[in-house]
Every structure is written in C-alpha cells, then in structure tokens.
Amino acid sequence: MANDLTNSYKTGPDENGRFGIFGGRFVSETLMPLILDLEAEYERAKTDDSFWAEMDFLWKHYVGRPSPLYFAERLTDHLGGAKVYMKRDELNHTGAHKINNVLGQIILARRMGKTRIIAETGAGQHGVATATVCAKFGLKCVVYMGAHDVERQKPNVFRMKLLGAEVIPVTSGRGTLKDAMNDALRDWVTNVRDTFYCIGTVAGPHPYPAMVRDFQSIIGKEAKEQMMEAEGRLPDTIIAAIGGGSNAMGLFFPFLDDKEVRIIGVEAGGKGVNEKMEHCASLTGGRPGVLHGNRTYLLQDADGQILEGFSISAGLDYPGIGPEHSWLHEVGRAEYVAITDAEALEAFKLCCEMEGIIPALEPSHALAHVMKIAPDLPPDHIICMNMCGRGDKDIFTVARALGWDMGQL
C-alpha cells in the first residue's frame, strides 16, 4: 500500500493506482478498456525477462546508456562549497531523458499489436524521442504540440518532421502542454483500435505515472551505482527539475528508502510565485484537483478552473505534477522549491562558461537551486543533479531572453 510508510516509500501505487489520496484513474467509459489492456500488458512485461532484455539492449546500443556521472570540478570550485556531480542524461540519443521511457512504451505497444503511436509534447523532447523510436520500428507517429510551443521550440518541430512524424499544433487554451495532452486524449478515445498513447511524463491515469517512473528509474539506479564507484557512498542531496516530474521521479525513486539522502524537486517559478500565477510551480503555488485522469496538485483558480501557468522553459510549462510527487510532498519525503526564469538563465550561462555544457532550460532550474545551496554546504557534502537535457533546442529562447540578435553574431 502506498500509505504504508513503516517499511518503504516505494510500495505505491496501491491496486487503484493511488499514492495516498493522489493518482487514480479518472477517465471516460470509452477509455477504460484501453487503460485496463495497457495495465495488463505492463504487468505481464514487468516480470518478463525478454521484455527487460530488449530494453537493456536498446538502452545500451541505441540510447547510449549508461549515461556518465560527471564531477563538475570548476563549478564546484566556483561555488566554493558542496561537491557537485551531474548525471549526464543529456548525452542520451535525442538529447534528453525522454527516450528512456519512450522505448519502454513503444516496446509495449508492439507487444499489443498497435501500429499508430500518438504523443503530446511541450519542449518537443518527448515528441522527438517518440518520432525517433517510431521511425526505428516503422510505426506511424502523430505528435500533439501546443501552438505556442511549436513557435518557441522550432528546432524540435523540424526534427520530428524529418523523422516522419505528423506534428499537430494545438491552438486551444494557451497552446501549451496541457492543451496538447487534452487533444491527445481525445484522439485516443476516437482511435481506440490501432492507437497507443505514449505519455511523456509521470502523469495521466494509472498505470502511466508508475509505468513511466519505472522506465525512468534507470537514471537513479545508474546514479547510485556510479556514486558508489566514484565516492564509495551515496550522495547527500539529489536534485532534479520538474515539469510533470519524470526525470525527477527517475532519479529519486531508487533513493526513496535511503532516508539519509535529501531529495529536492525544482519547479518552474517563472516570473515569481505570485498571485498572478505567472509560474508553473504546482506544489509550491497550487492545490489538489483532477486533471488528465489523476488527482494531484494543480494550478487553479477559486472555482477549480485550471490556470495556464508560465515558464521560460517549454518543458516545465505544465500546470500539474505527477501524483507520486504530490504524495512525496505531503508525506514529507521530498522537498519542492521554485526557481525563477531569471535564476535559471543565470545557471544556464554559468554552466556553459564553467563546464562547457550547454544545458536545456529545464535542468538549468535544477542547477540554479544547486547554485543557491552549494556555497553554504561543507566540501564533503555531495550533490547529484540530473542534467536531463541539452540546450540546443533552447538557443533561440535564450538569445531572445538575453537580448542577443542572432542575425548580428
């Protein structure tokens, strides 16, 4: 049971897909048989050695895992406190952690005989990963993307098209990830027979949050082994950025029962966590409600209407958060903080200049929090942050934010 904290934080979700009061399966009658089929297939795959053998093979030879654990020496010296390590998931094929999960879901889709894959995407990284794996297996791929995100993540839209995917811009709402997910769910209900919905984060109805977490847990599993090799012990603090929360759950999950390890999730503070809601910090500034098939913390107004939220980072621009994070927050196992756009940009620049790594804007939020706490921690304190994506997709956004004219370089 997810509520049984006597032994382990890793026992959730319960048989109804709940982490405490969060999660569950709030879907229409039409979707229910599809969700149940998926759950049954995943349950079979979980204990099937041939499923994991295929995953391990492709993680190694197609994705390039294990990703390195890297000691950021110059950054550590510069900050003058704790030792900073980066889990380099930006080095994966396609440039982010998203492909870890996509591989798992598409192998499941193939086992279920599905030939058409749909996905939603915000920053475009999940869309690119889905288009990539679909191309590899010769599957039709349709990606829903908010029109605003299509505009600000153009390089990824082009990549998806090169990979043979159809990208459908979504103009409802503010044209961001929430709206893309609504349309993807609508597509799924309409095309039940041949279509598999590949969700890109630890959200959606059960079994998605747990399934995506399980696929992404490779990040934390490797980080744990690599840290033992590098330092002979576990890190003191682990930190990751949160959109829906999949890279963070992936890093956190294997450490949940190592109670001496401090766990910090970093939400998008946008222009500041204020009453105008110009941020996307669902735990820091939201309250529980139901969206996209699960109960979790959401940005909403007094009437329970979902608010749009705001962040410079397209991948963090989601007004909800995975239900397991809501639960970890409520039981106090993980802490959640917010970092503003301006702080993330500072971290982005510092990482480029100090480490020769151009980070995505999403992990720049995690790095900004590292920059905040590391100077006050002793030199034997070890921090491990998840560098979950590379910044190629963000160069136009960053140029605009810094006032650089790309035509005048």
Ligand X SMILES: Cc1ncc(COP(=O)(O)O)c(C=O)c1O
Helix axes of 98-111 and 49-58: crossing angle, nearest 10 degrees: 140
Looking at beta carbons only, is 101 or 226 nearer to ligand X? 101
Provide the token pair at 228: 């033992």
Give the one residue of 2, 27, 55, 96 binding ligand X; rule: CB under 6 A: 96
388 interacts with ligand X by CB under 6 A: yes
Which two structure tokens, joined as six digits, stand for 264?
A: 């910090």
- Selected range binding ligand X among 48-56, 119-127, 220-228, 269-277, rule: CB under 6 A: 119-127
Binding-residue pattern over the window 347 to 366 for ligand X, x denoting contact by CB under 6 A: -------------x-x----
Stretch that binds ligand X, among 23-31, 245-253, 269-277, 336-344 (CB under 6 A): 245-253
- Calculate the CA dihedral of residues 23, 28, 34, 37 and round it to 10 degrees: 50
Q: Is 201 in the site for ligand X (CB under 6 A)?
A: yes
Of residues 34, 11, 3, the one with CA closest to residue 293: 34
Alpha-carbon span 282 to 145, nearest angstrom: 21
CB of 290 to ligand X, least distance (A): 19
The window from 3-11, 107-115, 144-152, 235-243 that contacts ligand X (CB under 6 A) reads 235-243
Interface stretch with ligand X, choices 49-57, 69-77, 242-250, 374-382 (CB under 6 A): 242-250
Q: What whole-number distance in Å separates Cα of residue 315 and Cα of residue 123? A: 4
181 binds ligand X (CB under 6 A): no
Which of 310, 316, 318 shows the shortest CA–CA distance to 360? 316
- Does position 241 interact with ligand X (CB under 6 A)? The reply is yes
Residue 47 class from Cβ within 10 Å (0-12 exposed, 13-18 middle, 19+ buried)?
A: exposed
The amino acid present at 191, given as its one-letter code, is N
Alpha helices in 59-153 (DSSP H): 73-79, 98-111, 125-137, 147-152
Binding flag, residue 92, ligand X (CB under 6 A): no
What residue number has its CB nearest to ligand X?
A: 389
Among 104, 293, 315, 319, binds ligand X (CB under 6 A): 315
Catalog residues that contact ligand X under the rule CB under 6 A.
Answer: 96, 122-123, 125-126, 201, 241-248, 315-316, 360, 362, 388-389
